[in-house]
């Protein structure tokens, strides 16, 4: 019985040695095929918070938004379409209020009829809004409030 096992073992060795030698030789049929590379673990992609659309450099409104976000400041935008008496009265309230918060907020007046300011007008969709209109933005770009036609200092600071 031991002889039989030894014969079988020798026969297997004789059969397997040429097979492994053949497997190690280059195969002329597949010379141009590259062997697959082992998969390399890739780090998981970093998910970033949504960003506002690209900001053009041609208008002061969108530039002010980018500047306020990058400097971590609040921004108050005063939209107007005419320089009539009610608008000028609200502009005075706006200016007085903004002077009190100048250490932490930026302020900007925007004429919605100015062709250079159309990107910010379209961004907030204020072309048909009642004027004047103040929009308050947080440092992260979120709209904190909107104040159409008439407002007080307390409302803007509130």
- Domain range annotation of the chain: 60-157
pLDDT in the model for residue 119: 94
Fold classification of 60-157 is: Glutaredoxin (3.40.30)
* Cis preceding linkage at 132, omega within 30: yes
Using CB atoms within 10 A of its CB, is residue 123 exposed (0-12), middle (13-18) or buried (19+)? middle
Question: Could you tell me the pLDDT band of residue 141, with boundaries at 50, 70 and 90?
Answer: very high
Q: Is residue 25 pLDDT above 90, yes or no?
A: no
Question: Could you tell me the pLDDT band of residue 55, with boundaries at 50, 70 and 90?
Answer: very low
């Amino acid at each position: 019985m031991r002889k039989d096992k030894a014969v079988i073992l020798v026969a297997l060795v004789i059969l397997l040695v040429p097979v492994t030698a053949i497997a190690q030789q280059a195969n002329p049929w597949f010379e141009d095929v590259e062997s697959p590379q082992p998969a390399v673990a890739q780090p998981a992609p970093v998910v970033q918070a949504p960003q506002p659309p690209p900001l053009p450099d041609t208008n002061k409104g969108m530039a002010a938004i980018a500047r306020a976000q990058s400097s971590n400041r609040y921004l108050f935008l005063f939209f107007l379409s005419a320089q009539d008496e009610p608008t000028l009265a609200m502009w005075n309230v706006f200016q007085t209020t903004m002077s009190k918060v100048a250490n932490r907020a930026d302020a900007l007046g925007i004429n919605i009829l100015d062709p250079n300011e159309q990107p910010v007008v379209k961004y907030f969709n204020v072309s048909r809004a009642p004027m004047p209109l103040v929009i308050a933005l947080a440092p992260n770009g979120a709209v904190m409030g909107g104040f159409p036609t008439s407002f007080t200092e307390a409302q803007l600071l509130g």
